[in-house]
Amino acid sequence: MLKIYGIKNCNSMKKAFDLLTELGLSYEFHDYKKQGIDVETVKTWLDALGQDVVLNKKGTTWRKLSEEEQQTALASEENLLTVLTTHTSLIKRPVLETSSGFIAGFDEVAYRSLNK
């Protein structure tokens, strides 16, 4: 079964939910704003996708961090894991866990290919 991670009130999440439903794909939703997210899960994403994919530098949360906080976050994987699990809005949404890996961000083509 697919597992989708994110927060409920997000346009990208809504698109993902709608498309998964349209494709008839069942999924489990993990709302990390309400449920939190553990370091092991985020580390798995970083290992699989890389920091540039997982860390959302375009959002307001990243821009609200001071230059020093941003540099500290990027200084080591340990620091980055702490920042991502503390400020979950810094994680690109959604993260979709499939049987063959992860898809970060809403990617309609990749989602449609799951139905083949």
pLDDT tens digits, 30-89: 999 999 999 999 999 999 999 999 999 999 999 999 999 999 999 999 999 999 999 999
pLDDT of residue 116 exceeding 90: no
**Active-site pick, 2, 7, 10, 19:** 10
Residue linked to tokens 């980055």 = 80
pLDDT of residue 115 exceeding 80: no
pLDDT of residue 98 exceeding 80: yes
C-beta neighbour count of 107 within 10 angstroms: 15
pTM of this prediction exceeds 0.85:
yes
C-beta neighbour count of 3 within 10 angstroms: 14
Distances (CA, A) of 56 to 5, 26, 98, 108, 113: 14, 26, 21, 19, 24
Interval 88-110 mean pLDDT: 96
Distance of CA 40 to the CA centre of its chain: 14
Confidence of residue 1 (pLDDT cuts 50, 70, 90): confident
**Amino acid making up residue 102:** F
C-beta neighbour count of 53 within 10 angstroms: 16
- Cα–Cα distance, 45 to 77 (Å, whole number): 12
| 108 is annotated as an active-site residue | no
What domains does the chain contain, in order, with CATH numbers? 2-113 (3.40.30.10)
